[in-house]
Amino acid sequence: MLALFYIFLAVAVALGIWQVNRLTSYGKVILRNDKNEEVTAISKLEENPLATEKDNDLHGKLFLVFLIGFYILMAYCLFFLNDLMLPESASIEGENDDNLFLISFVMIGIVQFATQGLLFYFAYKYRGINNRKALFYADSHKLELIWTTVPAIALTLLIGYGLYTWNDVMDLSDAEDPIVIEVYAQQFNWQARYAGADNTLGRGNVRNIKGINTMGVDMTDANSADDIPVRELHLPKGRKVVFKFRSQDVLHSAYMPHFRAQMNCVPGMVTEFGFTPKFTTEEMRVQEETVRKVARVNKVRKEKGEDPYEFDYLLLCNKICGASHYNMQMKIVVEEEADFYSWLKQQKTIAEVVK
């Protein structure tokens, strides 16, 4: 790859020198007028400074070539890079999101294909010829009406479906008996706290941070004692999970790409987001898309001599937060409900941890 770049660079430099040489050759020239007297002039001007017919022809055709190249690039990205994209949503709420994305993508794909085609084809087709006059065509209310209303209708559909999905995802009021988890961000770590038996989180504030109480849980709050602090997130399949996000220092963003979930963690306030996991980690690992992905990743890792990779859900930080922003992660495990509860039972409550 790098070699290709150096070759290109060498060609570019050579071309540059050649062209610059040409440029410096302009200058004063001595011409003779009708009376055979010497006159000085700047080197001769072309008859048509706009662009010669030859230029028009060349660059019109190049635009056509460019269009074909661009179509090839688009096709390559759609068919080959498509596999890089995230696998099917691992949350039930994310399904609508995926559908909406597909609809939007097909729509913009068609428009992109058509408009780029027209643009560059016209650039090729109507490349200038001397003595041809362009069509004087300044206005057409009919055409303008068409391309105002057609996008308007398409967008109305997208807005409608988009708002339905958005309300569905963001409205947490109707969740029955959700699992409540606090996700707590700090430079450059994630921590979490389960609401425990009463399913209510105890109050938290940075002013309570002391020793092992790293999340600043208010131990005087009756709801706090049964809360369970953890360093790894476990979620039950098929149950709605409601996350409450806090940050102790700067803005962070809790990004869980496989669940189509993201929310900023803002110092001084609690933000929330919720979803229902659809596949356990094990189920996800055997999915065809994931298997292909893991194989690709491991091919790269093998070349670099690194340990093989196994798929896991992740929580990443997605809001610039400082030097180690690039490495702020927490593993998420989705499991069957029974496994989840047996895991949760093994964890110590905060009352046991903070004596």
Segment interacting with another protein (CB under 8 A) among 176-184, 193-201, 227-235, 316-324: 316-324
Give me the residue label for tokens 């039972």. 345
Residue 198 amino acid letter: D
Query: Counting Cβ atoms within 10 Å, is residue 246 exposed (0-12), middle (13-18) or buried (19+)?
Result: buried
- 296 interacts with another protein by CB under 8 A: yes
* Contact call for residues 252 and 319 (beta carbons, < 8 A): yes
Nearest to 255 by CA among 313, 211, 303: 313
Using the rule CB under 8 A, which residue among 235, 316, 350, 354 binds another protein?
316
Per CB under 8 A, 341 contacts another protein: no
Collect all residues with Cβ–Cβ distance below 8 Å to 312 and sequence separation of at least 6. Answer: 281, 331, 332, 333
- Nearer to another protein (CB atom), residue 151 or residue 238: 151
Q: Is 9 in the site for another protein (CB under 8 A)?
A: yes
The residue among 199, 201, 204 whose CA lies nearest residue 218 is 204
User: In this chain, which stretch among 193-201, 324-332, 337-345, 346-354 interacts with another protein, using CB under 8 A?
Assistant: 324-332
Among 199, 230, 257, 331, binds another protein (CB under 8 A): 257
| Of positions 213, 223, 264, 287, contacts another protein by CB under 8 A | 264
Per-residue contact string for residues 61-90; x = within reach of another protein by CB under 8 A: -xx--x--xx--xx--x---xx-xxx----
Side chain identity, residue 52? T
Contact 94, 279 (CB under 8 A): no
Residue type, 343: W
Enter the tokens of residue 93: 């709420």
The smaller minimum CB distance to another protein, of residues 143 and 286, is found at 143
CA distance 128 to 43: 25
Binders of another protein among residues 87 to 126 (CB under 8 A) are 94, 96-97, 100-101, 104-105, 107-108, 111-112, 115-116, 118-120, 122-123, 126
- Minimum CB separation of residue 279 from another protein in Å reads 16
Check residue 203 for interaction with another protein (CB under 8 A): no
Contacts of 314 (CB under 8 A, 6+ apart): 256, 257, 258, 329, 330, 331, 332
Counting contacts by CB under 8 A, is residue 301 touching another protein?
yes
**Minimum CB distance to another protein, residue 112 (Å):** 5
> Taking the complex as a whole, how short is the minimal distance between the CB of residue 197 and another protein, in angstroms?
27
Count, residues near another protein per rule CB under 8 A:
136
Cα 260 to Cα 96: distance, rounded to the nearest angstrom:
10
Contacts to another protein from residues 127-156, by CB under 8 A: 127-129, 132-140, 143-144, 147-148, 151-152, 155
